[in-house]
Structure 1
Amino acid sequence: MPRISAGRVQSVATRLIVEKERERMAFISSAWWDLAAVTALGFNARLLEVEGKRVAATSDFGADGAVKEKSLANILLLDEAGARGLVESLKSSALTVKSMEESPRTERPKPPFTTSTMQQDAGSRLGWGAQITMRIAQRLYENGYITYMRTDSVNLSAQAIDAARKAAKSLYGADHVADAPRTYLGKTKNAQEAHEAIRPAGETFKTPGELAPELSRDEFALYDLIWKRTVASQMADAKKMQMRVDFDAQTNDGKATIFRANGSVITFPGFLAAYDDIVTEDSKDEETEDKRLPAMTLGQSVKVNEYTCEGHETKPPARYTEPTLVKKLEELGIGRPSTFASIIQTIQDRGYVYKRGRALVPTFLAFSVTGLLETHFTKLVDYEFTASMEEDLDKIASGEAGRVDWLRDFFYGVDGQPGLNELSADLGVIDARATNTMNLSETIEIRVGRYGAYLQQNLPDEERKLANIPESLAPDELTLAKAIELLEAPSGERELGIDPATNLPIIAKSGRFGPYITEVLPVVEPELTASGKKKRKKADAPKAKTASLLSTMTLDTVTYEDALRLLSLPRTLGTNSSGDDITIQNGRYGPYLKAGLDSRTLTSEDQLFTLTLDEALEIYSKPKERRRGVAKPPIKELGVDPTTEKPLIIKDGRFGMYVTDGETNATLRRGDTAEGMTLERGLELLAGRRAWEAENGPSPKKARKKAAAKPRKSDTAPTLTKNVVKKGTAKKSAKKTATGKAKKKAE
């Protein structure tokens, strides 16, 4: 297959994504119910125990969706009937305070950004992929706003520590600065610390607000994250007080129950003051705002307005996103800051992975290639081996080991372990068919072919059935029931009749590019050369006539008469005054007229069969319109960009569906569908397009428009987080002179 490759890091990254999908495929959903008491004091308490048995919660279920073995004997698994019965039996019961517990909690700031943590943060907060983040960071670095952005180090120079502490003291007060300069230890395996952590450049850190006039919207958003992370790293710990209150309640049939309410309040913000409205990672699993519980005393009765119950289902393990994949690779010690973005891009370019929203979804091709490597090159896709290889390469780079010795061991093997030479010796015995086949049942197989994945059903005494697997269908969604549905769908092939002009059968079928009709040519035995190989087909060999269905037709409804009309295209209407034939035909972008080199777009598919020569001549008598017709309505509205407050919509264009905010357009990628598109994914696509235009310049059409326009203010917008502007500062920052493509972007 073309464009297929394996690599030291890309194959391991693909394997991680495939293994996650295997977990999802093996997942079995479980259901449980719980109860809550809505009190008159303004807080809710959840049911904790019934008759001394703890009520099941999310933590009692494993990654496979089933109840953990150690929890089976100790929990009460409520179903809907049991939950509603408890609600009814508790209806008239009040809560009685059983116990109260307060505990202080300290939260420390995180270290400054490394490449991977910057990519993770930009992914979770801004919805960007690793490659987009690195493009924008590169521009910030090249223009002198941040330090080098490819680093494993969490260390800051003495100059940077001093600048961060001064900024924190000036903006938030001396009590918000750590008593002594903070230093951090890196946790990354095989870290190379040639550069300091990513931080704002210079002896003093300019606030995001001060740089707002100079930065584009995306540059501003990333600089804002870097500035806050750096300054916060030298600030004091945040302090919180957590409160837990347990309540007794009795059902009308005498069962003892315990409810619990939790509260939390920030007593000293410390470094959280720098983050403003950013939610820190440590706060994500808890209430991020103050949740105060009212003052209560032991034995106090608390009135309950109502008891409610709610059903839950376990969810399969979340697929990797770009940030979580980078984090996993870093934990395993695989890859380098300079390679994370390119690794993720490569496995997408090779067709191993595509994005659905922000999730990385493996293709069936990825399953096939990963299975081949696991079977025949187990060591080469082993996580520990790949990480140890990183260490060896570092030693070679630093001169601690010799490259020739290492290559010899790798090729021939060492300490009884086979080398590449031995592993590749048996490549000839690999069964390609078995490698590209996955069994879904005894009779249904998933096959990976040159043009994509498909289903094959082999029933005894019956002709095999084939069905394409839609590219948008994820592997964990291809259940046996879904496979049977695809195989039984009428989209396979439907015979419509015989073409009277050629006496050939006409069938309707589904292809990679949509439904179409085609003639069936008779099977001709191929000619063989003297050596027994098939001869190449002659250029003048007969070809089957084909035609795509019109937008109003489906495989189920297209008729024999429709097929004959479609196969009659292109239709010659007559000639013009120059003697050119005027033809009407259906193209990729709809129906059109053609006379010589002059073509005219038509407004309706009905005109393909009704337009006359006189009407065509009238169309040609008018000047050719360069403008588009009436704009098509949007396919879907995604919501409002929280940064620009502009609506994001999906539209259908000449080259397919795209997302736009009115200024920037971004084509939907493989795996993206209008139905599955989210606001977050739309923002990511637009950010990627803006980053590409900043590097390569806008399209020629846009460039011509902008060249004629007057210079305007730099394209800036508020970030997703609150701007930090030094109080009392009214200085205007001088605009930095942009050069080359960056200048075009700024204008």
Structure 2
Amino acid sequence: MRTDSPTLSSQAVDAARRQVTSLYGGEYLPDRPRVYTAKSKGAQEAHEAIRPAGETFRTPDQVARELDPDAQRLYDLVWKRTVASQMRDATGMRTQVRLTADAGEHGAATFQTSGKVITFPGFLRAYVEGSDDPDAELEDQERVLPPLRQGQEVDAREVEAKGHETQPPARYTEASLIRELEERGIGRPSTYASIIQTVQDRGYVWKKGTALIPTFTAFAVVNLLGHHFPDLVDYGFTARMEERLDEIAEGERQYKPWLHAFYFGDPEAPASEPMARNGLHRTIDEGWEAIDARAISSIPLGKDDEGREIAVRVGRYGPYVQIGDSDERASLPMEIAPDEITLDEVERLLHQESLSDRVLGNDPESHEPVYLKTGRYGPYFQLGEDPEPKSKEKPRRASLWPGMTMEDVTLEDALMALEFPKTLGKHPENGKDVTVQDGPNGPYVKAGVESRSIPGGHAEMAEMDLEGALKLLAQPKQFGRRQAQSVMKDLGEHPDTKLNLTVRSGRFGPYVTDGVVNASVPKGRDPQALTREEAIELIAAREEKMRSEGKDPRAKKPTTRRSSSGGRRSTGGTRGRRRSA
């Protein structure tokens, strides 16, 4: 079912009210049924809200044996939100206490804290349904302060100074972007998925975990539309257009006259809406001639020590950074986010570019030159010259291995990397070629459709033979968490925490861990060459970053346990706000 409606049918409302009375008593039931309306203008309310089925709701305990763990948690959430939506509001008292103290030469210091006491639990009572002690669960939501009176002197048993740093707004995720679109009246439930997919397919954003990272192509498109076609990126214009389309869908407006006016213009439209007055056709024709392609595809970053402008430009082959109009330029790596491009990073990229297109020597077999180059995916080796623009033949290329730097690589390093992918022989059972290759997630062996990661990294890849590859291929394939358990190196005990330090290979590359905190091994560093001291530094840096984000790196993680049916059951509870699902 697809619905974002909070509306319940009379049957569902009656069922919920009966259950409130039977489970909690009449004092929890409001005098009249509670009615909710959608906050979003674009809400599609053809369906009822998601709620327990039937004229009488079964409690989560009554259906527990019929559902798997995931379905149980889902039903529990839907049931609680539905029943809570027909209960009285919770009431309580909030108290705020301010204490002043003499801070010597710094003057008076003010300390404050807040307390909360629930006087009537109301709908909150439904959210603790199913717990062993509902009253204790409700008490956990309270914060009781000791009795105090105005002017009373108190003793400070302990004073702890805590730093607080404001954090920038979090990046959009798919869910938060949809929520923003919904609040602005843009899009509809049936179109949200295609909107999210389109901005990714067109290269306007890429995903880092769950976060949506904007690309410089998106910056250029916004520059173009914002400067030359501002109405097309005006939230109000888009929302009004959505409303007109809704009216057409509901038969309240004729589509042909509206489309004609949208494309060719409406002379009766107010002068304050030039897009509506001129129409799409004329707006684009007139605006297109004024476009400065270089200007809209340039994003200034600042100036160097000589006062020259440093800018990111979006070209045919991707974004690059350039100093003024000079030849000093460098491609930007694919995985870099716009806010990570500092002037220091620009200097590093330009220095890296200055080492590019360097001939390291000639291949002893083909006698072709071996180049060191840089591109959107970082530095790489290339055997032979660049191909002609329309040529289907591509020269052999290979990325630098961890531990290799552009300043220090040799011809031998390049030839070793260019040796892969390499065929080791035939698989004795299926006759497929057994190859060893280097991929985005590290080296691996492959035979037909079967592949296995090489746990020892590039050092093991360089020594891999057919016998070793067949042993790897004979092992069961690992997925998800099991894959992350592959230990690459044991570094011994942490001198302070006494926890064991290891280097492991994970889904997103090698990392070091003490069993509590994980820290990625930076690109370009060989995980096999890491020392215990370097691992301690990486973990300490990761802890510091987590603290700066307001997280406790050593906080106890929520545990999960296997249920008898094989699913995972979290020890944490589910909380929600009062309204129907």
TM-score after normalising by structure 1: 0.55
Range moving further from structure 2, 444-453 or 414-423: 444-453
Q: How far is the alpha carbon of 1:544 from its aligned partner?
A: 3.6
Counterpart position of 2:117: 265
Residue 321 of structure 2 aligns to a residue in which SS?
strand
Counterpart position of 2:280: 420
Q: How far is the alpha carbon of 1:651 from its aligned partner?
A: 5.4
Matched, 1:437 2:303: no
User: What is the CA deviation profile of residues 7-49 of structure 1, one whole-angstrom value per residue up to 9, with x for unaligned ones?
Assistant: xxxxxxxxxxxxxxxxxxxxxxxxxxxxxxxxxxxxxxxxxxx
Matched, 1:291 2:143: yes
Matched, 1:189 2:41: yes
- 1:303 corresponds, among 132, 147, 155, to 155
Preserved CA contact (<8 Å) 2:30 2:86? yes
Measure, in 2, the Cα distance between the counterparts of 1:318 and 1:343.
20
- 1:454 corresponds, among 312, 315, 320, to 320
Residue 423 of structure 1 aligns to a residue in which SS?
helix
Name the CA shift for 1:453/1:598 in 2 (closer, same or farther; >3 Å). Answer: closer
Preserved CA contact (<8 Å) 2:16 2:86? yes
User: What is the CA deviation profile of residues 39-72 of structure 1, one whole-angstrom value per residue up to 9, with x for unaligned ones?
Assistant: xxxxxxxxxxxxxxxxxxxxxxxxxxxxxxxxxx
Counterpart position of 2:201: 349
Q: How far is the alpha carbon of 1:386 from its aligned partner?
A: 1.1
Preserved CA contact (<8 Å) 1:376 1:423? no
Measure, in 1, the Cα distance between the counterparts of 2:97 and 2:450.
80
Unaligned 5+ runs, structure 1: 1-137, 139-148, 279-286, 527-533, 637-648, 660-673, 681-711, 725-747
Matched, 1:626 2:460: no
Counterpart position of 1:486: 349
Q: Which amino acid aligns with 2:322?
A: Q
- 2:232 corresponds, among 371, 380, 395, to 380
Q: How far is the alpha carbon of 1:470 from its aligned partner?
A: 4.0
Matched, 1:393 2:257: no
Counterpart position of 1:26: none
Measure, in 2, the Cα distance between the counterparts of 1:576 and 1:333.
59
Measure, in 2, the Cα distance between the counterparts of 1:393 and 1:273.
43
Counterpart position of 2:531: none
Counterpart position of 1:371: 223
Name the CA shift for 1:453/1:224 in 2 (closer, same or farther; >3 Å). Answer: farther
Residue 343 of structure 1 aligns to a residue in which SS?
helix
Preserved CA contact (<8 Å) 1:491 1:555? no
- 1:521 corresponds, among 351, 376, 385, to 385
Name the CA shift for 1:170/1:358 in 2 (closer, same or farther; >3 Å). Answer: farther
Measure, in 2, the Cα distance between the counterparts of 1:376 and 1:312.
42
Name the CA shift for 1:601/1:392 in 2 (closer, same or farther; >3 Å). Answer: closer
Measure, in 1, the Cα distance between the counterparts of 2:484 and 2:461.
24
Preserved CA contact (<8 Å) 2:422 2:437? no
Q: How far is the alpha carbon of 1:409 from its aligned partner?
A: 0.6
User: What is the CA deviation profile of residues 192-251 of structure 1, one whole-angstrom value per residue up to 9, with x for unaligned ones?
Assistant: 433333322221222333333444444443333222221111001101111233344334
Q: Which amino acid aligns with 2:15?
A: A
Q: How far is the alpha carbon of 1:309 from its aligned partner?
A: 3.2
Counterpart position of 1:562: 413
Preserved CA contact (<8 Å) 1:570 1:584? yes
- Kindly report the root-mean-square deviation, in angstroms, between the aligned alpha carbons of the 2 structures: 4.7
Matched, 1:163 2:29: no
- 1:474 corresponds, among 323, 337, 352, to 337
User: What is the CA deviation profile of residues 568-599 of structure 1, one whole-angstrom value per residue up to 9, with x for unaligned ones?
Assistant: 6788999999xx9x9986554747699x9999
Preserved CA contact (<8 Å) 1:444 1:456? yes
Q: How far is the alpha carbon of 1:499 from its aligned partner?
A: 0.5
Name the CA shift for 1:199/1:658 in 2 (closer, same or farther; >3 Å). Answer: farther
Trace 1:654-665 onto structure 2 (pairs within 5 A): none
Preserved CA contact (<8 Å) 1:490 1:556? no
Counterpart position of 1:150: 3
User: Aligned pairs, how many?
Assistant: 483
User: What is the CA deviation profile of residues 392-430 of structure 1, one whole-angstrom value per residue up to 9, with x for unaligned ones?
Assistant: 112212222111110011011112522111122243664
Counterpart position of 1:74: none
User: What is the CA deviation profile of residues 105-124 of structure 1, one whole-angstrom value per residue up to 9, with x for unaligned ones?
Assistant: xxxxxxxxxxxxxxxxxxxx
Name the CA shift for 1:513/1:498 in 2 (closer, same or farther; >3 Å). Answer: same
Name the CA shift for 1:387/1:274 in 2 (closer, same or farther; >3 Å). Answer: same
Name the CA shift for 1:214/1:557 in 2 (closer, same or farther; >3 Å). Answer: farther
Name the CA shift for 1:316/1:347 in 2 (closer, same or farther; >3 Å). Answer: same
Name the CA shift for 1:289/1:571 in 2 (closer, same or farther; >3 Å). Answer: closer
Matched, 1:339 2:200: no
Counterpart position of 2:166: 314
Name the CA shift for 1:546/1:713 in 2 (closer, same or farther; >3 Å). Answer: closer
Q: How far is the alpha carbon of 1:150 from its aligned partner?
A: 1.7
Q: How far is the alpha carbon of 1:357 from its aligned partner?
A: 4.4
Residue 163 of structure 2 aligns to a residue in which SS?
strand
Counterpart position of 1:359: 211
Name the CA shift for 1:495/1:173 in 2 (closer, same or farther; >3 Å). Answer: same
Residue 314 of structure 2 aligns to a residue in which SS?
strand
Unaligned 5+ runs, structure 2: 131-138, 272-276, 303-307, 488-502, 512-538, 552-563, 577-581
Preserved CA contact (<8 Å) 1:515 1:548? yes
Counterpart position of 1:125: none
Q: Which has the higher contact order (CA 8 A, sep 6+)?
A: 1
Measure, in 1, the Cα distance between the counterparts of 2:510 and 2:65.
30
Trace 1:706-725 onto structure 2 (pairs within 5 A): 713=565, 715=567, 717=569, 720-721=572-573
Q: Which amino acid aligns with 1:479?
A: T
Preserved CA contact (<8 Å) 1:213 1:714? no
TM-score after normalising by structure 2: 0.69
User: What is the CA deviation profile of residues 675-704 of structure 1, one whole-angstrom value per residue up to 9, with x for unaligned ones?
Assistant: 8999x9xxxxxxxxxxxxxxxxxxxxxxxx
Preserved CA contact (<8 Å) 2:369 2:384? yes
- 1:509 corresponds, among 369, 373, 381, to 373
Name the CA shift for 1:496/1:291 in 2 (closer, same or farther; >3 Å). Answer: same
Q: Which amino acid aligns with 2:203?
A: G
Measure, in 1, the Cα distance between the counterparts of 2:83 and 2:367.
79
Measure, in 2, the Cα distance between the counterparts of 1:250 and 1:438.
51
Name the CA shift for 1:371/1:610 in 2 (closer, same or farther; >3 Å). Answer: closer
Q: How far is the alpha carbon of 1:163 from its aligned partner?
A: 0.9
Q: How far is the alpha carbon of 1:506 from its aligned partner?
A: 2.4
User: What is the CA deviation profile of residues 239-294 of structure 1, one whole-angstrom value per residue up to 9, with x for unaligned ones?
Assistant: 1111233344334569555543321111111101112299xxxxxxxx98211111
Q: How far is the alpha carbon of 1:500 from its aligned partner?
A: 5.8
Name the CA shift for 1:431/1:174 in 2 (closer, same or farther; >3 Å). Answer: same
Q: Which amino acid aligns with 1:443?
A: E
Q: Which amino acid aligns with 2:198?
A: T
Residue 360 of structure 2 aligns to a residue in which SS?
strand
Residue 558 of structure 1 aligns to a residue in which SS?
coil
Q: How far is the alpha carbon of 1:610 from its aligned partner?
A: 7.0
Measure, in 2, the Cα distance between the counterparts of 1:156 and 1:413.
43
Residue 231 of structure 2 aligns to a residue in which SS?
helix
Preserved CA contact (<8 Å) 2:360 2:410? no
Counterpart position of 2:536: none
Q: How far is the alpha carbon of 1:623 from its aligned partner?
A: 9.5
Identity of aligned residues (%): 42
Preserved CA contact (<8 Å) 1:335 1:390? yes
Measure, in 1, the Cα distance between the counterparts of 2:99 and 2:353.
60
Q: How far is the alpha carbon of 1:496 from its aligned partner?
A: 5.0
Residue 304 of structure 1 aligns to a residue in which SS?
coil
Measure, in 1, the Cα distance between the counterparts of 2:29 and 2:427.
83
Name the CA shift for 1:557/1:192 in 2 (closer, same or farther; >3 Å). Answer: same
